[in-house]
Amino acid sequence: MKKATRLTKIKEAEAFDGEAEKWKDAITYNKYMEPLVRWLKWQALDMEKEEPLKRSNFQFTGVAARWLKDYNEKTKSTKRNIHGFMVFLRKKIIPSIVREELWKRNKGCH
Res. 74: pLDDT tops 90: yes
Question: How distant is the alpha carbon of residue 104 from its chain centre?
Answer: 24
> What does the chain come to in residues?
110
What is the model's pTM?
A: 0.74
Res. 99: pLDDT tops 80: no
Band of pLDDT at residue 11, cut at 50, 70 and 90: low
The DSSP string of 25-68 is SHHHHHHHHHHHHHHHHHTT--TTSSHHHHHHGGGB-HHHHHHH
pLDDT at 76: 94
d(CA 89, CA 67): 7
Q: What is the mean pLDDT of residues 58-76?
A: 92
Angle at 11 between CA 103 and CA 23, to 5 degrees: 35
pLDDT at 80: 93
